[in-house]
Structure 1
Amino acid sequence: MILVELRKLFLRTRTWVTIGLLCLLPAIVAVFLATTRIAPAPGQGAAFLSAVLESGSLYPAAALALVLPIFLPVAVAVVAGDTVAGESGAGTLRYLLVRPVGRTKLLAAKLFSVVVFVVATVAAVAGTSYVVGVSLFGAGDPVAVVNAIPQISAPGGGGGSSSGGGSSGGGSATANDPADAPTPAVNAPGAAPGAATGGNTVQSDPTEARERAADSVASLSGDALSPADLALRLLGAMLYITISMLGVGAIALFLSTVTTSSLGATLGALAALITSQVLVTLDAAASVTPYLPTRYWLAWIDFFRDPIFLRDIRAGLLVQLAYVVVLMLAAWANFTTKDVAQ
């Protein structure tokens, strides 16, 4: 049954068009950046865009920040909303259930297909963006990358700053603007400890810094990251985004068992997400903000800090897993008692 659902998913032209469009958006942005050599000022625009001109290795992270707030959730909602409602609306669901396959197994297979779609889409966006980024911008000058990324004054990207995606919900992922808070003294790569005074960072000799940080890029905190470390952090961010999108999939899949209209299930899931984003930015809703599905969406940026800030990452994982478990149990209870003749 799982193979049947995967075959149906990936034989649809719509699936590949969706993945292609999600990969195309970062590619278009990269072409404009490479052509004009004009990047957003540090603290403005999507996360990492202010640094990708100096290091194409960071472009997968910038690409994920570009597609996450709107395009990726819409794609997941469309696919998950069509899983059951599409079959029911077309009248083929009853024929599926004629086979000697229980409804629980069928629902599990459809959930698995949504998981595979999310994993494939996130991997495709990151993979194509890495190729495009390195091809257009090169591996990068680690010292220039350090200077291009603003310093971070508070941990917990999803809580204390706009970069972690908590305070702004599903809005654009941006790094902290140094003008908004006192800038801490952060030593540049190669600088001696305690070399920063008066809130200003004392830069070491550029040649020495390049030698010490060769083949590296910088974390949001300004410390050099080796290619292997960067790859591990990017994988962690991809896994976190995948789990976050499973929360979206769970909402749409539950609604897909309630209605026979795949469009209705998709729009219902998107309405829930938009409502969550609005409430996240509303001070009057502070009591419920930590439990909203979009509250910690952008906390994956904390993987690129040194040290990694795990507070909002853990909170985000718990929130998404709670949505997945509760909504899938509700979908199972509804689907197993659903009159498929209607």
Structure 2
Amino acid sequence: MSPTVLTSAVPDRGPEPEPRRTTGGAGSVGRERRERLAAQVQRRGALVVLALVAAVASMVSATFPTWSNVSAILGNDAFVWLLALGMTFVIITGGIDLSVGSMYALGGVLAAYGAQTHGTWLAIVLPLAVGAAWGTVQGLLVSRAGMAPFIVTLAGLLGARGLLQLVTDEGATTYLVPPGSAFRSLGAGTWTPVLIVAALFGLGAVLLTRTRFGADLTAIGGNENAARLMGLPVARTKLLVHVLSATLAAAAGALGSARLGSGVTTIGVGYELTAIAAVVIGGTLLTGGSGSVGGTVTGVLLLAVIHNLIDQYASQYGSAFTDTVNGAFLAVVVLVQALLARGRQEE
């Protein structure tokens, strides 16, 4: 009898495959470095430019680094910076608010009217209440009705300016803050406005970086559909950012009237564009999803320094030159942001 030959039941799988070779290595490390560099340029670029502009201005101008000039930069337009603070939250969600300039003017007139007729309490409460109500209406139209923020807030710009004309009889009536009113102390000097604005910016930074609300803003701006699928309160968040923006704009106008002593009807024109420019220059993506309050501080300081230099050396060209500089800075920053984003996508 021939011996039985046992064969393996395991089928023949052929030759063993060669181990996969990773091609990342130095290429992936270089890509990560470029991404980090691009992120730093976006976040810190304005700060570097601010430091360079301030250094050059200090070397060529003996009056620029003086305390009187620094006080003028910090104190004169400090309350206008609050428009940029509110705009930061709106833009991070991917929206826009074009009504803040008109709301600034309306808040100032309402505050002066309240101070003249009923005292300090109405000067504070009235503009804040109207600003919150105005922001609620705009927020509902954007978040619930699904209307475009650009259209809604453009209508808000015109509507707030029209209400301003109604309150002041087409600009014929100017409301004055009484000289002895305690409300005037909120806008007096240099440090009072600066400290008020600094406190509000500090609260804004905490709200954006240390709360669930701030995380929701970034997620919604990055990808609204994904945020909705994750169960985030998209509609409520959009509503709240518009309420916050309008209320801050009205508060800024009220504090501005305390500093000026009256409600100026012609003020605020174009302030919304300056606020947008400051926010975007500070590193907040115009498309939403990324931004910081600290970057907005850098943006407003950079524009304030540049405007101060224009007033000193190019005042003969008027406000048109200032608007041109704002537009040029905004265009350059948006272009840089687009190039950085395109480079990351190609990698």
Say whether the fold is shared (TM-score over 0.5). no
Q: Which has the higher helix share?
A: 2
Structure whose CA Rg is larger: 2
User: What TM-score results when the alignment is normalised by the length of structure 1?
Assistant: 0.30
Of structures 1 and 2, the one with the larger relative CO (CA 8 A, separation 6+) is 2
